[in-house]
Each structure stands twice: as structure tokens, then as C-alpha cells.
Structure 1
Amino acid sequence: MTEHPPAPVLPAAVLWDMDGTIVDTEPIWQRSQVELTGRYGVEWTHAEGLALVGSGLERSGEILRDKGVDMEVEEIVEWMTDYVMERLRGGELPWRPGARELVEELHARGIPTALVTMSRRKMALVIAEALGERGFRVVVAGDDVDRPKPHPDAYLSAAAQLGVEPTACVAIEDSATGVASAVASGAVTVAVEHIVPLSEIGGGDVHLTSLAGVDVDRLVELTTPALTARGGSTGGAVPDPAHAADTEEVAR
């Protein structure tokens, strides 16, 4: 007997990471770390910068202070945030391939979106405001939650503010830390490769090398099996983050 594919399931909402997923800010963050450590004569390697991708800014500040940056953690966070914001405002925003188009199409199709980032709210609003009415209904930033990614708090907050079950949502991430956060929230998780190779990102339901060419119909096609397994739009039990769903490898 021939098995029919599951009927398409629209996500109740799509929850977006920002840095490295919506906009290509990770290289700017890393330049900020190099410049700041250089001011204090601290050696800072590219590998150390990569290790901070997806982490909360306070954690990054603690590591930089421990390395020898003679500033308080909050001062480090503010310095790096201002550094990145100044460069974003000084030129065209570095949108990641396919990301802006997908956000805008989700809006056109009536599927709500949220921005879920560990950057400070003042920086997240720069990105949110660039999309205007075609963008995000909700913004959850690093200074809005007590626990940063990989804890699920930010994703759970975004889903609650949208009035939807997290298990009925799709989350889009680019880092191991972010994927762990989204998986722990129960959301169907799409990992999109950027700075961190997919081979280093554990967990998630779908792995993509790019969002270029991924429209709403393609996103629904990719995530319907996992949404169906969670109970579709009605949601379901939040999975144990230690046991992520099997990854669907998709080469684009």
C-alpha cells in the first residue's frame, strides 16, 4: 500500500534568531572582540570568537573580562553593542540570503513571526524597524530574559506573547547554542549553516545550507513531518532537549 505524505501543516508562528540568521552580523561582532582585546594587549583568536557565536552577551563579556579586558561585564556588552550598531547604521543592512524575503512572505501569508535574539533590545529594534509592518509582531532580546540561550526562555517567551504553543512553531537558527535553545523549547527547529558548520550543530529537525530560494511553501514542506509528529497546530508535549528529533539533511 502506497503511503501518502502528511497533509501540509502551517506553523502557528515562525521564530527567528537574528545574528547570523536574519543579518550577517557575526563578522562585525568578531571584529568588535578583536578591537576591544587589542586595546588591552590581550591575545584573541578566531577560534575563541567562533566559540561565542550564539552565546548571551553577558557570557561573552565574562569571557573577555577573564581574558584580560579591564572593564566591567556590562561595559563590555555596551561597548560591543554600540560598535555593531554603529556599523549597521552606517550602511545597508547585511541581510542573509533568502531571510528577508521569507520573513516578508510569511507576513503576506498571515503567519506571525517573532525575533528571538541574545543581542540587546536596542539593537534588535534596528533590524525589526528595517522590516516595518512586514516584519515581526514580537521581539524578545537578551535583556528581556533571565536565562540566555541555550536555555529555552527566549523562545518560550516569544510563543507566549504570540499566544501559540511552542510545539506548533518553527524556529530558525544558525548556531549550536541557538539550536539547543529552540529544541529545548519544543519548537520544530531549522538549522541554517553560516559561520558554524552543520557538522558542529547537533539536534534540530531540518538542516539547510542556505535559505536562498526557500519560500513559505518549501518551509512548510520541510517542517510538516515534525509539526505533524508534535500534533500539528494543536501542539504537544515538550520534548526532552537531550533527545532532539532526527535531522533531515537537505542540500540546497
Structure 2
Amino acid sequence: MTSQSDQDPPALSAAAPSVRCSGLRAAIVATLALGFVGMASGFIVFLSQLRGAEIQPGRTADGIVVLTGGSSRVSDAIDLLAAGYGRRLLISGVHPTNGANDISRSLPDSQRLLNCCVDLDRSAVNTRSNAAEARRWAHERGFRSLIVVTSNYHMPRAIVEMSHAMPDIELIPFAVVGDKWRDDPWWTSGATFRLLLSEYAKYIAAEARVRLAGLGVELAPDGEAPTEWVARRKPATALAN
């Protein structure tokens, strides 16, 4: 006659895989949920960094760097130069076929400044190379402080890249706020929401790469798409923000 204890082990052993699978599923769901909450919280923090209005820099700098790719960035940077916020201006990411004359067609009042105090960088194709060219330009001229001009949604990543490229230079952000940002809340526009999500992903990637570099782990370029160059014979301020 078999006892109850002799009959239990098979049943328990059959139930064990099911228990393990349930525990694994629960762990996966919990991990995904925590990851989603973390990404959502990070996105909120990212959005909190974006200025909704343009604020003049609190001080002057040795130079001004503007990263092409968004509406009114170049014109705002030239306005800062004209107001005496910097001694020279670097326009980084200009299309290789463009010259100062192409920019002056859309900004006729800036001809004098373009002739005397503006340098064009035609080699940068993304934010990382923008930072490298700005570093080279600043070091060649002995500049110790720069005003960085780019769109508000692009500013967090630009500062990450430029701070990493030139930690010895003080960076003063000037965030350009496009008309679309002013006219409608970002959450009412699907295109703007997608732009912000894409920029947030690039910002996270840049932060991760820079932190790894600080630990001595250098990664290859992240494959970021080229910035929109100033189109030949088109206004420098007409690019989509």
C-alpha cells in the first residue's frame, strides 16, 4: 500500500515548470513596466529642459556658434553677433556648395557682419561633428567661452556633445523657439511629438556614449542622420524646425 507521501513528488515535479514559467513571465512584465516608467520619466525630464520662449544670454562670450538645421537659427545668431554678444560667429554645418553670399540673400542687413566676423564650417554633418568643428575653431582663436545657438528641442543633445568635446570652454545656451512651437502645444501635433521622441532617443544615445567614454569605452559614431544643411540659394532661415 502506497502512502500519500509516495504519490506527491510526481505532481509537485509536474507543477514546478509551470511555476517557474509564471515567475519568469512576471519578472519580464515587471522589467518592461519599470523600463517604460523610466523612459517616460526621462522624457518628462527632457521636456522640462526645453524653453518655451527665447531668453537673451545673461552675459557676452568670446564667440558664438550656431548649428544649422532649424528655422531662424542663423538669423538669431547674427542678431546676437550684431548686439555684441560675441566677437565672431561660426555657422557650423553649412552645405559644401554654399557661401556667405547665399546666406546674405536671405539676410541682406547682415552683409557687413558676414564679411568681417563670420566663419563657415562646411565639414560638419551631425551634432557630434558640429562639436568637433566648434572645438577646433574655438581653440584656434583662443576662445574660452561660446554662446551655442540651436533649436530648443536640440539644445540638450548639443550641450552634451559640445561639453564632452571641449570641457575647457564655457558654453552659454541660446535656445531658438520656432513658430510651430509657439503657435501650438507640442502634444497637439503628431509631427512635433514624433520629432521630440526621436530627439529624446538621440539625446539618450549621446548621454550613454559620453558616459561610457568617461569610463574609457570609446564607441564608433552612432550613425546619426546628417543635419539639414543650409540649402543652396534658399533662405538660411527657411528650414523646417
Output the TM-score relative to the length of structure 2. Answer: 0.37
Task: Name the structure with the higher helix share.
Answer: 2
Higher RCO (C-alpha under 8 Å, 6+ residues apart): 2
Bigger radius of gyration among the two: 2
